Amino acid sequence: MQLLSILALFSTAVVGLSHPAALVRAPSKVCTVPAAGSESIDDTPAVLRAFDECGHGGKIVFQNTTYHINSVMNTTGLENCEIDLRGTLLWSTNISYWLSHSLPVGYQNQSTAWVIGGKNVHFNGHGYGTLNGNGQAWYSATGSVSNYPRRPHAMTVAETSNSKFYGLRFLQSQMWTLSIIHSKNTVFDSIYVNSTNHGGSSRNTDGADTIYSSHITFRNWEVDNGDDSISLKANSTDILIEDCLFHRGLGLAMGSIGQYKDVYETIERVTARNITFSGTLHAVYFKTWTGEQVNYPPNGGGGGLGHASDMTFKDLQATALRGPAFAISQCTTFSGTAGNCTSSKFQLRDLSFRNINGTTTSHNVASFQCSAVEPCENIQITDVNLTLQSDGTEADAYLCGHVEGTRGFNCTGAVCVGGSATGGC
């Protein structure tokens, strides 16, 4: 009996060690960030001190109060770090400051207000910890100008691995909410984004964008915005998007991509499942630049090479889609110019859309405006049950241009070739 007791105790210890939570060590140090309590006093220096002192093996705690963030933050190089956000980080509306000080992201000449990153970072917002970008000031100031130079993203996760960001709320982001670059094996779970403009457009307010990143998971997201719900850009591979709700924006975006002349880029091995779209333009759409370079990024470019392939989008629910559920446009070009919509050298292939139900305002289930140089190949659409919101009739049109190898559907007409980066004319 004594031997059996010893063996049972040993077995219990081994099982405990096999669970990841059992391997998490207590932080070596806890840094609680003080808040000055006044918008005229910048809390950024206190935040940066906490990350300096506790960013390696420690824990940074934001209390349930408001922190005024009046200057840029670079908190990269973290390791085995916990971040506990129970209050609100509120960014200032000093637009001239941000335009002259925002930090480079490393892609498309984009910039950011906060770049954060490291190994084994756990950032917990508990469902109410908030990052408020005071975006209404930006929406009013920049108007309809796309990718306004130096307009900052709310947060950039860079050079990050084996990490998790969860329970965070992003309100009124200045531009893109979350850009993820040069990162891998990282989960973004239970994230809420609301970047809506009171009385106008909130252009360029993507919920999240992946760039040069792999093995990224988006789970339990809710996004209400005026642009891409989530966008996958250059060299985004092995991406999972699941159990999400998207309102009003453009839907899931693959791209834009093919912006850099003669540069080979890919988007590969993507799965999106159990997604609900409420009033979005599309469920899923693809956008590549044309085959000719016109001007330079972020608002110019073209002539890029590469492919997007091996993608599955399934178990989708739609309410009042504003356009085709599935769209391809290979027509993105420099703002204000008309490009050749059939010249892109970037190919789309091996795409599967399975099981979509709900309502739409468009007769078109699909609008595929593909390149004549590199036609779209091997596209599958099955189990479609979309009805017009106006009268309940079936949406049954599939418009195609330069599509080779359809499965589960037949093209019913020619696509309208126009200069829209979101498909159609």
Nearest to 157 by CA among 226, 217, 204: 217
User: What pLDDT, in 10s, does the model give residues 400-425?
Assistant: 999 999 999 999 999 988 777 888 77
Return the minimum-mean-pLDDT range out of 149-153, 159-163, 284-288, 334-338.
334-338
Is the pLDDT at 228 greater than 80? The verdict is yes
pLDDT at 397: 98
Using DSSP's 3-state secondary structure scheme, residue 194 falls into strand
For the chain, give the number of residues: 425
Kind of pairing between the strands at 364-369 and 397-401: parallel
Catalytic positions: 227
Q: How far apart are CA 174 and CA 203, in angstroms?
A: 10
pLDDT at 19: 33
pLDDT at 143: 86
pLDDT at 360: 98
pLDDT at 335: 76
Of all residues in the chain, the percent with pLDDT exceeding 90 is 86
Q: How far apart are CA 174 and CA 132, in angstroms?
A: 9
Q: Do the Cβ atoms of 400 and 417 come closer than 8 Å? A: no
pLDDT at 23: 35
What average pLDDT does the segment 200-228 reach? 96
DSSP string, 285-353: EEEEE-SS-BS-TTT-B---EEEEEEEEEEEEEEEEESS-SEEEEEEE-STT----TT--EEEEEEEEE
Return the minimum-mean-pLDDT range out of 231-245, 298-312, 323-337.
323-337
pLDDT at 243: 98
Residue 8 pLDDT level (bands cut at 50, 70, 90)? very low
Residue 127 pLDDT level (bands cut at 50, 70, 90)? very high
Is the pLDDT at 18 greater than 90? The verdict is no
Is the pLDDT at 6 greater than 50? The verdict is no
pLDDT at 334: 82
The torsion region of residue 108 among left (phi > 0), alpha (psi -120 to 50) and beta comes to left
Residue 234 pLDDT level (bands cut at 50, 70, 90)? very high
Token digits of residue 74: 């670079």
Domains annotated for the chain, with CATH where assigned, are: 30-414 (2.160.20.10)
User: What pLDDT, in 10s, does the model give residues 55-93?
Assistant: 999 999 999 999 999 999 999 999 999 999 999 999 999
pLDDT at 420: 78
What average pLDDT does the segment 205-214 reach? 98
Is the pLDDT at 24 greater than 60? The verdict is no
Counting Cα atoms < 13 Å in the Cβ hemisphere of 193 gives 36
User: What pLDDT, in 10s, does the model give residues 133-148?
Assistant: 999 999 999 988 889 9
32-65: b (≥16 Cβ within 10 Å) or e: ebebeeeeeebbbebbbebbeebbbbbbbbbeee
Kind of pairing between the strands at 251-257 and 284-289: parallel
Is the pLDDT at 52 greater than 50? The verdict is yes
Is the pLDDT at 174 greater than 50? The verdict is yes
* Chain centre distance of CA 415: 28
Q: Do the Cβ atoms of 98 and 71 come closer than 8 Å? A: no
pLDDT at 16: 34
Q: How far apart are CA 255 and CA 328, in angstroms?
A: 10
Is the pLDDT at 20 greater than 70? The verdict is no
Residue 336 pLDDT level (bands cut at 50, 70, 90)? confident
Using DSSP's 3-state secondary structure scheme, residue 363 falls into coil
Whole-number average pLDDT of the chain: 93
Of all residues in the chain, the percent with pLDDT exceeding 70 is 94
Is the pLDDT at 191 greater than 50? The verdict is yes
What average pLDDT does the segment 167-178 reach? 98
Using DSSP's 3-state secondary structure scheme, residue 142 falls into helix
User: What pLDDT, in 10s, does the model give residues 258-287?
Assistant: 999 999 999 999 999 999 999 999 999 999
